[in-house]
Structure 1
Amino acid sequence: MPEIRHEPIAPTRSQWLASGAEISAHRHDDHQIIYAARGVLTVTTDAGSWVTPGNRAIWVPAGTVHAHRAYGSLELHLVGLPADSNPLSLDTPTVLSVAPLLRELIIEYTRGPDSAGPEHDRLLAVLLDRLRASPQQPLHVPTPTDPLLRAVCELVRASPGDNRTLVDLGRAVGASDRTLSRLFRRDLGMSYPQWRTQLRLHHALILLADRTPVTTVAHRCGWSSASAFIDVFRRTFGHTPGVGGV
C-alpha cells in the first residue's frame, strides 16, 4: 500500500461516510475496534480483506496498515484502545459478532468520546466484556503470497460469479489442479471452494449495500439460484439477506 499515513492515536468517534468513500492506507500505534452500524465496510490489509455488515465489528491490532471503503451510506463507529491493553489477545485483524447490547454500547461510547470520568470508564469496561464474549466470524478473504496462486485468485476476484473449476483455472495459469489445491491449503489454510465462497459472500454484501435485488446478487455471485444463495447467507450470518440493510 503506497503513501501510508501514520496516525499514532486511534480515534474514538462516530462519523458518516458516503457510499464509495475511502479512507486511505494508514496505521495507528493503538488498537482499534471498527463498527458499521449501517451500510457495509471493507477493511483491507496486505494479508487480505475483511467485510463488516451491521451485526459485525472488526478488531484491528496496533501497527496494522489498513484502508477502508464504504458501501451504502455508512454509519461508522471507531473505538481506540491503548497498545499496552489487548483485551482480546488478538494480533491479527478479526471480525467479531455484534449482539444488540454490544451494538448499543459501541454507539453510546463513541457518541461522547471526549467525556471522561468513572461513568465513561464503566461503559468501556462493559463494552470490552461483551466484546470478549463475541464469537469470531470467518469473514476474511485472504490474499495469497504465492505468485501462481495470486494469479488464480485475481482471475476469480475479477468475476466472483465465475464457475470455472481448478482444472480450468489451472489451464489459464499453466498449473495442475493438484498443484493449485495444495497451494490453497498451504498458503491460505483453506480449500479453493471455501476461499471462493468467502469471496462471493464478501461481494454479495457489497451488492446488497448498493440495493441490488437478492436474485441479481445470487446470479452475479455464482449461486445456482436465489434460494441456494439465501441458504449459505443464513448459515453464515444467522439471518436472510435484505437489500440495503444487508
Structure 2
Amino acid sequence: MEEIRHEPVAPTRAQWLAAGGAIDAHRHDDHQIIYAARGVLSVTTGEGSWVAPGTRAIWVPAGTVHAHRAYGDLELHLVGLPAGNNPLGLQTPAVLSVGPLLRELIIEYTRTAGEQSAQRHRLRAVLLDQLRASPQQPQHVPAPTEPLLRTVCALLRADPGDNRTLADLGREVGASDRTLSRLFRRDLGMTFPQWRTQLRLHHALILLADKTPVTSVAHQCGWSSASVFIDVFRRTFGHTPGTYPPS
C-alpha cells in the first residue's frame, strides 16, 4: 500500500497550476481553505469529490487525505489554519460560498503570506469572520461504498450524459430500481437524480474550464437543452455558464 504523504503544516500561499496539473494525495495536521481565483479546482478525498469555481471555496479539515487537480490554468490560494482554530466547526470537507469581499480577503491574505504585522492580523480576523458567515453549498459528489452503487456510478462517471433511467441501469447491473434507489439514499444520503445532477454540474465546470461552448456542455452532460442547463447552473452557482470561467 502506497504511503500517504504527510505535511504537518498546511501552507498559506498563492500558486499557479497549469491545466491538468495535480497535487497528489496528502494530509495536514492543520485545517485548510482551498480557493481557485481562476480556473476550476477539483479536490478528491475518500468521501468523494468537490469541484469549485471562483464563487466557491473548499474546506478541508485537519487530517483529511486529499488530492488536487487543475482544470484550466489554476490560480490557487491556500489558507492554513491550526487544528485548534476551526471557525466553521466542521469535521468533514465542505463547499463554501465566496462573495466579492471574501474573495479579496483570501487573495490578499495569501499574497502577503510570511509577513507579520498588525495589519495582517486584522486581515486574518476579518477573513475568519467572513468564513464563519459563509453559507455551505451542497456541491459534493459522494463516493459510494456499496458494490452495486460503485458499478452504477462508474457507468455515469464514464459518461455523465448517459440519460438511462435507474431501472435501465438496474437491468445492466442486476438490481431493481427500487433496490438502487434505497441504496442511493442509505449510502450516499441523496436521491439518484440529485447525485446525477451533482455529477453533471461538476463535469460541466470541467468542460467550461476547457472553454467548451455552453451548448456542447449541455449536450455532453445530458441536459435536454442549453436553456435548461443554463437555468440549473445559474440557480446552483449564482451566475450563468457563459460568464465562466473568468477571463
Q: Same fold (TM over 0.5)?
A: yes
Q: Which amino acid aligns with 2:89?
A: S
Looking at structure 1, the residues matched to 126 and 97 of structure 2 have their Cα atoms a distance apart, in angstroms, of 16
Match of 2:29 in 1: 29
Q: Encode CA deviations 1:68-87: one digit per residue, 9 max, x unaligned.
A: 00000100000000001111
Unaligned runs of 5+ in 2: none
Other structure's SS at 1:242 match: helix
Name stretches of at least 5 consecutive residues in structure 1 with no aligned partner.
none
Task: Tell me the distance in 1 between the aligned counterparts of 2:97 and 2:242.
Answer: 18
Aligned mates of 1:148, 1:75 — CA distance in 2:
38
What SS does structure 2 have at the residue aligned with 1:58? Answer: strand
Query: What is the CA–CA distance in structure 2 between the aligned matches of 1:163 and 1:107, rounded to whole Å?
Result: 40
Please give the alpha-carbon distance, in whole angstroms, between the structure 2 residues aligned to 1:243 and 1:118: 37
Alpha carbons 1:32, 1:81 under 8 Å: kept: yes
Residue identity in the other structure for 2:239:
H
Structure 1: how far apart are the matches of 2:137 and 2:154? 24
SS in 1 for 2:86: coil
Matches within 5 A, 1:129-208: 129-208=129-208
Secondary structure at the aligned position of 1:92 is classed as: coil
Aligned position for 1:73: 73
Letter in 2 for 1:103: R
Would the aligned equivalents of 1:210 and 1:244 in 2 still touch at CA under 8 Å? no
Distance 1:182 1:215 in 2: 34
Q: Partners in 2 of 1:55 and 1:75 — Cα distance?
A: 13
Q: 2:169 corresponds to which letter in structure 1?
A: L
**Deviation readout 1:47-92 (Å, 9 max, x if unpaired):** 0000110010011000000000000010000000000111110000
Equivalent position of 1:95 in the other structure: 95
Instruction: Give the superposition deviation at 1:139.
Output: 1.0
Deviation at 1:170, TM superposition (A): 0.5
Match of 2:10 in 1: 10
Q: Please name the residue that 1:39 is paired with.
A: 39
Q: Which runs of 4+ in 1 moved over 6 A?
A: none
Q: Residue type matched to 1:241 in 2?
A: P
The answer to whether residue 226 in structure 2 is matched with residue 223 in structure 1 is: no
Partner of 2:109: 109
Q: Distance in 1 between matches of 2:242 and 2:143?
A: 28
- Report Cα offsets for 1:11-54 as digits up to 9, x if no partner: 00000100000000000000000000000000000100001100
What is the alpha-carbon distance in structure 2 between the residues aligned to residue 11 and residue 231 of structure 1? 37
Count of paired positions: 246
Indicate if the aligned counterparts of 1:212 and 1:243 stay in contact, CA closer than 8 A.
no
RMSD: 1.1
The TM-score normalised by the length of structure 1 is 0.98
Identity of aligned residues (%): 80
